[in-house]
Amino acid sequence: MASDEVAAVVATPTPTSAHFVFVPLMHHGHLIPAVDAALQLAAHGALASIVVTPSYATRLRPTVESSGLPVWLVELPLDLAGTDDVGRIPLDEEAAYLLTASRLRDPLERHLRAHAPPATCIVSDICHPWTAGLAAGLGVPRLSFLGMSAYCLMCLQTEHHAAAMHNAYAAMDPYWHLMPEDPVEVKMPTAAPGFLRLPSYEKLAYAVERACADVDGVVLNTFLELEPGTVVDCAEVRNVAVWAVGPVSLFHRHEHAAALAARGNVPALDADECMQWLDGKAPSSVVYVSFGSSIVHADPKQVVEIGLGLEASGHPFIWVVSSSPEKADQDTDHEVGRFLEELEARVAGRGLLIRGWSPQLLVLSHASVGGVVTHCGWNSMMEAVAAGLPMVTWPHLAHQFLNQTLAVHSMETGVGIGVEWSEEEEGVEVALVERWVVEEAVRSIMGGEDEAVERRRRATALARTAREAVREGGSAFINLRRLVKHYQAVMPEDASTWSPQI
């Protein structure tokens, strides 16, 4: 789904253009939308820099350079366990790696002071609380760019800033939160209060919570029409501007398909080969299955159940099978490897397995794709929304359960797989989802029943609304323009009265 409307209105930077310095979390679900947002701002007349480690700079450079926009990559080394790639960090060291990112502050501040243009605003991921000190040292405002929905942010804000409401929830059950607008209960997998309450993440979570209380604004990869009341509520609770600028993935034009396919990593399957496979399938007939970097779905037993469920569904499918190095002992397990080979032989022509990075945005934009099975990472969900696709929701982390609620109960384009969490002494585990559940869920979004047809109609209508939001005059377009003007290096006298469209 190309976005010619966005690319056609690229503004020219001026000597007084705002310079947004993005400090993203280098997890693909956070990094990719941050890069897209930086490109969006540059298309609206700003300048943008993206702070990344060398390995990520190599992956992102084709996308950034092919855009032709004033966006720069700032490469800074950050090593832990012999790598600067989060995907290669052992799972038990990931929290330490995120805390280690604070080492970037001093070299980044020196770089920004020594190089033009001067930064006028820091835009950092929620998991980089150290950027509060960076922004203060530079004397510039700080925005949070969050890889979550406004609804999820509202729940987080309610937890942090509305003690009376939180106490009421906790009196009922410390695992329950209430949806801000509708009387829908959402089960969270982490104990309240706090976010990121997973083993070994407590120190990071505390720092994140403190930093969240002191930001000048929030940039969200969502759009006003998707979460109207919640966007407004977020701004009122925190008394800061909330800029809804999504779906940021709609910025991309697909004539740069090779660069777009590799915007997160080198594809495990050539993009042209993948597109040719899809070209041979009927419209809206293929289900796309991807769980990002989730460790849950790399479990050998779950891999087998997913494969058998997809096979039994009878629908053509593309399945992205995790093959991250830290999971190599699971992914290369002899029995699982043999199972996948046998499955490929049985479903040859109907099923396509991708072991590694997938050109996801290109796949979802293809006319043959009719639905997705997702782990409910917000970036993946927004790409599915922009493509007009119904979803099978299969969350495994705290905010993903909230995203599932939005897809199932608010957008009404999702079908939950039915997973629930249980906390064991060794950590958090997810129960095995059996093959017949996978089969049934796929058929529920891909079938011809009235409910499935209506779900697809709603998904198509929502995609149309998303495209309207990013077009000239749409809510996201207006927010982007106002955001750029608000942080111009030389602001007009009435700049303080400007605010995002909410």
Query: What domains, with CATH codes, occur in the chain?
Result: 4-147+212-250+472-497 (3.40.50.2000), 267-465 (3.40.50.2000)
pLDDT of residue 201: 62
Please tell me whether residue 218 adopts helix, strand or coil conformation: strand
Query: CA 177, CA 165: separation in Å to the nearest integer?
Result: 10
Is pLDDT larger for residue 314 or for residue 165? Answer: 314
Residue 138 in this model has a pLDDT that exceeds 90: yes
Residue 169 pLDDT level (bands cut at 50, 70, 90):
very low
Residue 275: band (very low, low, confident or very high) from pLDDT cuts 50, 70, 90: very high
Whether pTM > 0.75 for this model: the answer is: yes
In the predicted model, what is the mean pLDDT of residues 65-73? 91
Q: In whole angstroms, give the CA distance from residue 432 to residue 462.
A: 32
CB 56 within 8 A of CB 75: no
Q: Indicate the helix (H) or strand (E) that contains 57.
A: helix 54-67
pLDDT tens track for 73-90: 999 987 766 777 777 776
- Encode 78-121 in three state secondary structure: CCECCECCHHHCCHHHHHHHHHHHHHHHHHHHHHHHHCCCCCCE
